[in-house]
Amino acid sequence: MSSASIKISTKHKQLNCTIPLTGSKSESNRALIMQALSEGAVQVKNISEAADTVTLNNILQAGKQAVVDIGPAGTAMRFLTAFFTIQDGEVILTGSERMKQRPIGVLIDALRSLGADISYTENEGYPPLRIRGPFKPESDQVKIRGNISSQYISALLLIAPRLEKGLKLIIEGELTSRPYVEMTLAMMEQAGIKHQWNENVISIAHQPFTKSEISIEPDWSAASYWYSIAALAEEAEIFLRGLTKYSLQGDSKITEIMANFGISSEFRDGGVYLKKEPKKLERKIFDFKECPDLAQTVIVCCAALKHDATFTGLETLKIKETDRVNALQVELAKIGVKLIEKNQTYKLDCSELDLNKNITVATYDDHRMAMAFAPLALVMPGLEIEDHLVVEKSYPDFWKHLGIAGFELNSI
């Protein structure tokens, strides 16, 4: 069900604030699966308040259920698909209408090749799924394409130590979103799980999780919106608590990307200080292959700054909460900007940019559309975001934190 729209405005173009970000959704979801697989040996601190993480945690805490509905939680769908194959009994795993349109065949084929008993209850290649477990592994090897969602690969790696024969995962072709796979393996190491990664083969033996505590870092994806806000403000000094320079999260690359926009990142006092400094924006090509969740934020920021940049690595955006490429094209057109696609390369045409008007941004049931466009309130007279509670999926305090920064918010 859609929520009300929210109108955003601000008279303050100079920002000075401290923002307490929630824990990383990506880290939290991995840690919760490990905690469940470890049967309590792994403990988790600072779990994200994101709706997706709350959903996953509730399901894992609830125990055996005949039908599990994960709603719009994509990570939960991928991780639980693998998780349920090694649990006792049968379960129907389903989700929202949009989830039923998001392909999962690559993961199902991989699990079936190992011996898992999974069938589709509606459309071939898409949820809902009927999963009967536990399965007896027929092989310890599985092949999977590297240019698909890293969540498929992470789902397999997470259950690998519980498989009788362990797992040798062979990645075919170039691996996209590599930092997310590295995050999974690094977190598993924190829980005592050893692995080997030789060229395109990741090997994990059958082994127990050890008694351990995993503390979740604040969410770099959430931090990215504050980098965009800093870039569009006249002046900005923003402190984001808890973030560290050496992060497992691939989206920490926002520090490098936003340095091109004159945003410096100084790590001290238990967090990072963002500061806007005068800088001519010169970089023309941005590659999001390893950090696709940053794409909307940076593309909208470039559009607002009238920067005709080129973008690559957007292939997975079309199978997210919505077709994010199409959503960007439709919404950017409202400020006169075109996002032109040619052979998997995307270029902004800002020649007709018009920020002197009021617009209403549709969110397409996508939390990142709402948060990527919200910073435009700094450069436009009027901005309205539809279905504002969609942000609860990953950053439930987003609007509250905008208020801390001095933005005026009115629910419509």
| pLDDT tens, N- to C-terminus, the chain (412 residues) | 478 999 999 988 899 999 999 899 999 999 999 999 999 899 999 999 999 999 999 999 998 899 999 999 999 999 999 999 999 999 999 999 989 999 999 999 999 999 999 999 999 999 999 999 999 999 999 999 998 889 999 999 999 999 999 999 999 999 988 999 999 999 999 999 999 999 999 999 999 999 999 999 999 999 999 999 999 999 999 999 999 998 999 999 999 999 999 999 999 999 999 999 988 888 789 999 889 999 999 999 999 999 999 999 998 787 777 799 999 999 999 999 999 999 889 999 999 999 999 999 999 999 999 999 999 999 999 899 999 999 999 999 999 999 999 999 999 8
Half-sphere exposure of 358 (CA within 13 A, CB side): 6
Q: How far apart, in whole angstroms, are the C-alpha atoms of residue 316 and residue 274?
A: 29
CATH of domain 25-203: 3.65.10.10
pLDDT for 370 equals 97
Predicted confidence (pLDDT) per residue in 92-114, tens digit: 999 999 899 999 999 999 999 99
Judge whether 220 and 25 are in contact, CB under 8 Å.
Answer: no
Q: How far apart, in whole angstroms, are the C-alpha atoms of residue 128 and residue 99?
A: 9
Count of residues for the chain?
412
Judge whether 253 and 182 are in contact, CB under 8 Å.
Answer: no
pLDDT for 322 equals 78
- β pairing state of 310-312 and 129-133: unpaired
Q: How far apart, in whole angstroms, are the C-alpha atoms of residue 325 and residue 6?
A: 23
Active site residues: 293
Predicted confidence (pLDDT) per residue in 335-375, tens digit: 999 999 998 899 999 999 999 999 999 999 999 999 999 99
Distances (CA, A) of 299 to 101, 294, 325, 367: 25, 9, 10, 16
pLDDT for 12 equals 82
Q: How far apart, in whole angstroms, are the C-alpha atoms of residue 104 and residue 67?
A: 18
> Is 25-203 in the same CATH topology as 6-23+217-411?
yes
**What's the pTM?**
0.87
Closest-CA residue to 150 (of 249, 254, 244): 249
Could you tell me the strand order of the sheet in which 271-276 lies? 14-19, 235-241, 271-276, 263-268
Q: How far apart, in whole angstroms, are the C-alpha atoms of residue 286 and residue 313?
A: 9
Domain ranges of the chain: 6-23+217-411, 25-203
Percent of the chain with pLDDT over 90: 88
Closest-CA residue to 84 (of 44, 42, 122, 127): 127
Predicted confidence (pLDDT) per residue in 181-205, tens digit: 999 999 999 999 999 999 999 999 9
Find how far residue 238's CA is from the centre of its chain: 22
Q: How far apart, in whole angstroms, are the C-alpha atoms of residue 78 and residue 80?
A: 6
- Alpha-carbon dihedral 257, 218, 295, 389, rounded to 10 degrees: -140
Q: How far apart, in whole angstroms, are the C-alpha atoms of residue 290 and residue 252?
A: 11
Query: Under CATH, to which class is 6-23+217-411 assigned?
Result: alpha beta
